[in-house]
Structure 1
Amino acid sequence: MGVIIALVVSFGALIIGFMGEGGHVGALISWTPAMIVFGGTIGSSMLAFPMSDLKQIGRIMKSGLLYEPGDLNQLVAYFYELSVKSKKEGLLSLEAEVSNNPDADPFLKKGIQSLVDGESYESISDSLGNEIDRIEERHKIGAAIFNSAGGTAPTMGIVGTVLGLVHVLEGLAEADMSTLGKSIASAFLATLYGLASANLIFLPMGNRLKINNQKELLEKELILEGVLLLQKGLSPKTVQEKLMGFLNGDEGEQSGSTASVAREAVGAA
């Protein structure tokens, strides 16, 4: 929803401002400059990146637009509960956490399943660590694709404008003065499309993927650390304190109160 609002605000401001100067929306629509700008940008991306990466663009966009970071405070409290349970009933008791919660984070489920299967500390660290590396690489590729498009689109816009002006100047001697202004305006639409798409879509999307990358990596690293602490069999209090190192000050205070509630609930059980 936030992405839709942002696009409506940004493009809406441009259109309303243009209309406020006396323009009309129809003057901003032309398929030829759009073909030059977006066709050229797509072609440049196809040359710059392997097709295997470009085929993932749908998944990458979904990640950038729909990704919602998990609550790190709840994760800390969750691992505290798991630690209490494993201390009382053993690591095998955590198998229910995998089978009874189909909506759980697949990465978290994989980590807990590794504990239940009795995998070694090194095996779990390597397996989950490699998956974190793959997630990071995916985000980097996605950000690079959109940042590349953000750099190419304005240039293609200038190319489109130059092509349009070449056509206008070529027939200037025989031009109908009543249509000359319209032809020049149409030529400059390519620059508009290039600048607007770069600064309102491609570059913001690249930055969004970078931010999501940082948030998702932090979440996955917390999960990895939590799983490894459970594998070591440390006390619930130690698990909580070590995982709180992933939180900033405000989150750390909130996590402390959340974990206290979790301790009371577990004790009551």
Structure 2
Amino acid sequence: MDILSLLGLLLGLIALIGGNFLEGGSWQALVNGPAALIVIGGTLAAALLQFPWLQVRRALSIFPWVFYPPQTPYKAGLQSVVGWADTARKRGLLGLEHYTETETDLFARKGLQLLIDGQEREAIRRTLETDMVLNEQRNLDAAKFFEAMGGYAPTVGIIGAVMGLIHVMRNLADPDQLGSGIAIAFVATIYGVTFANLFLLPVANKIKNCVYQQSQYQELITEGIVAIAEGEHPRSIQTKLESFLPQV
């Protein structure tokens, strides 16, 4: 689990509730069912109206990346590529066949199969880069689902606030009804802004960051496989690919 993501979410909630408490309020003042229904339901409805089902399903499937990001083992990938290069240098490209049976990464396995099939290096590069770009675009499009919700939430919160004020105006003669209407008006705005800026937009950006890391890892694999196809020495390949390693 990504502890920083969980810590960021908890810290945001603590800051919101703690600030309200220091101002003399209580946590009950921030709990309002109608306001939550308006903001969450309205935001989700607007996003569902905008995006096709396949994109929504993809967005929901990669949402766990926020707390369980996919692994991008740069060092292990580099070592694998160097190992493939060493095997190809000693036993030829056909010597890589057993790696296709043990390699768990589908992208790397496809690259190895292209090598074994004797594809030209430019054909290998085009095929792998096409897969990389299309996969990146699909995931970025899915992240836009949460980004769009982050744009809608504050506006829907304002709609909830206006609805609360309308409720207040209709009950000016009944003081008992004023409190609930004013609560919906202000709490809905808080829900909309908080939902967008402490959850939806960070989720979208976290997913984008995971996508970029995946693409960088796949680029490392691509460059390594193309270098093997060109017959470069394993040490030369290692030196070239070390630039992909994350810098602390």
| TM-score exceeds 0.5 | yes
Identify the residue that residue 52 of structure 1 maps to in structure 2: 54
Structure 1 residues 60-139: aligned runs within 5 Å? 60-101=62-103, 104-139=104-139
Which amino acid in 1 is paired with 2:134? Answer: R
Q: Which residue of 2 aligns with 1:28?
A: 30
Residue equivalent to 1:256: none
User: Matched residues in 2 for 1:8 and 1:31: separation?
Assistant: 21
CA shift digits 1:48-100 (9 cap, x unpaired):
22222112222231334322442323322332222111111112222222223
Q: What RMSD over aligned residues (CA atoms) do the two structures have, in Å?
A: 2.1
- In 1, Cα distance between equivalents of 2:33 and 2:116: 59
1:69–1:215: 8 Å Cα contact kept in structure 2? no
Shift of 1:14: 1.3
Contact 1:222 1:243 in 2 (8 A): yes
Could you tell me whether the CA contact under 8 Å between 1:147 and 1:206 is conserved in 2?
yes
Please give the alpha-carbon distance, in whole angstroms, between the structure 1 residues aligned to 2:65 and 2:114: 26
CA contact (8 A) 1:45 1:148 kept: yes
Q: Percent identity?
A: 35
Letter in 1 for 2:231: G
CA distance in 2 between partners of 1:128 and 1:100 (Å): 19
| Structure 2 unpaired stretches of 5+ | none
Contact 2:121 2:226 in 1 (8 A): yes
2:181 to 183, 190, 196: 183
- Letter paired with 1:77: Q
Instruction: Tell me the amino acid that sits aligned with residue 185 of structure 1.
Output: A
Gaps of 5+ in 1: 252-269
1:240-251 to structure 2, matched below 5 A, reads: 240-247=238-245, 250=247
Match of 1:225 among 220, 223, 237: 223
Alignment correspondent of 1:267: none
Please give the residue correspondences for 1:168-207 in structure 2 after superposition, counting only pairs within 5 Å.
168-176=168-176, 180-207=178-205
Cα displacement string for residues 97-136 of structure 1 (whole angstroms, at most 9, x for unaligned residues): 22234xx322112211222233332432232122111221
Contact conserved, 1:143 with 1:206, CA < 8 A, in 2? yes
Q: What amino acid does structure 1 have at the position aligned with 2:47?
A: S
Q: What residue in structure 2 maps to residue 38 of structure 1?
A: 40
Q: Which runs of 4+ in 1 moved over 4 A?
A: none
Instruction: Provide the rounded CA distance (Å) in 2 between the counterparts of 1:195 and 1:130.
Output: 38
**Normalising by structure 1, what TM-score?**
0.83
Q: TM-score, normalised by structure 2?
A: 0.89
What whole-Å deviation, never above 9, does each CA across 1:129-177 have from its counterpart, x for those lacking one? Answer: 221112211232123222211111001001101101111111102333x
In structure 1, distance between residues paired with 2:10 and 2:125: 44
